[in-house]
């Protein structure tokens, strides 16, 4: 069974510890950014940010301001379309680790033509891979495969101070996810587990996906 993350967004305070820890562990440099009127920074995933915390603010029916946070990363799909599409052009450019289920962009991804790299990006239902203009490699969350293979937790999970993220064996995590959903529904009746049957990074959302961002859930 693949490894699985549960990301309970109802517990996320948008501290961005996970975002920063991911950068530090992967030795990724800072980006030059501008203040765009939101705390979301940088504005999007990029080769230096394999994880970003998305912010979405809106007024509810009572006129109250609601702020939703979404720590975004690759979902490590159980049947990853990015691997299928990459294989048609450059076999091995994207692979799925059998033991953990981690979906990885390899050095071979730099051999993809512009069109083929775009096709891989377009195949992703969550709009995750980004191409590094410096070396042509596709970049995305690697499940901290080095840590996980050594029996450690992904650094974003280890860093999270609120318990919003949990990582473990799929068969152990699914009952935890369902239990958390049951509790969440008492306060947020529209809460749901996004695409639970298809992904290894399961998000518990308090509201419909449009209250987070375009690619928060596929179904």
Structure tokens that stand for 9 in this block: 């967004």
The distance of closest approach from Cβ of residue 63 to ligand SF4 in the complex, given in angstroms and rounded to an integer, is 26
Q: What angle do CA 87, 91, 92 make, to 5 degrees?
A: 105
The three-state secondary structure class of 149 is helix
The distance of closest approach from Cβ of residue 65 to ligand SF4 in the complex, given in angstroms and rounded to an integer, is 19
Binding ligand SF4 (rule: CB under 6 A), the pick from 52, 93, 104, 160 is: 160
Binding ligand SF4 (rule: CB under 6 A), the pick from 154, 191, 192, 217 is: 154
Binding ligand SF4 (rule: CB under 6 A), the pick from 126, 192, 203, 212 is: 126
Q: Does 191 bind ligand SF4 (CB under 6 A)?
A: no
In the block, tokens 């609601």 appear at: 66
Answer yes or no: are the C-beta atoms of 8 and 196 closer than 8 Å.
no
* Phi, psi (degrees; rounded to nearest 5) at 55: -115, 135
In the block, tokens 């152990």 appear at: 172
Exposure b/e, 91-117, CB count within 10 A at least 16 = b: eebbbbbeebbbbbbeebbbebeeebb
Count of residues touching ligand SF4 (by CB under 6 A): 39
The distance of closest approach from Cβ of residue 157 to ligand SF4 in the complex, given in angstroms and rounded to an integer, is 7
Of 47-55, 178-186, 202-210, 211-219, which segment contacts ligand SF4 by CB under 6 A? 47-55
The distance of closest approach from Cβ of residue 134 to ligand SF4 in the complex, given in angstroms and rounded to an integer, is 19
Q: Does 47 bind ligand SF4 (CB under 6 A)?
A: no
């Amino acid at each position: 069974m693949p490894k699985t993350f549960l990301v309970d967004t109802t517990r996320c305070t948008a501290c961005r510890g996970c975002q920063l820890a991911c950068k530090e562990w992967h030795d990724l440099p800072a980006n030059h950014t501008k203040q765009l009127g939101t705390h979301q920074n940088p504005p999007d995933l990029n080769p230096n940010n394999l994880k970003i915390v998305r912010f979405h603010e809106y007024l509810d029916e009572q006129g109250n301001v609601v702020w939703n946070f979404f720590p975004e990363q690759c979902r490590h799909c159980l049947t990853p379309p990015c691997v299928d599409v990459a294989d048609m052009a450059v076999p091995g450019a994207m692979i799925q680790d059998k033991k953990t289920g981690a979906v990885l962009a390899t050095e071979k991804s730099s051999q993809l033509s512009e069109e083929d790299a775009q096709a891989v990006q377009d195949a992703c239902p969550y709009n995750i891979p980004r191409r590094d203009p410096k070396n042509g490699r596709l970049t995305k969350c690697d499940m901290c495969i080095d840590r996980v293979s050594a029996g450690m937790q992904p650094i974003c999970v280890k860093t999270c101070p609120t318990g919003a993220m949990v990582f473990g064996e799929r068969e152990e995590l699914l009952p935890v996810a369902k239990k958390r959903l049951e509790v969440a529904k008492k306060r947020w009746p529209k809460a749901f587990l996004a695409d639970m049957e298809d992904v290894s990074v399961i998000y518990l959302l308090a509201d419909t996906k449009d209250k987070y961002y375009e690619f928060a859930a596929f179904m």
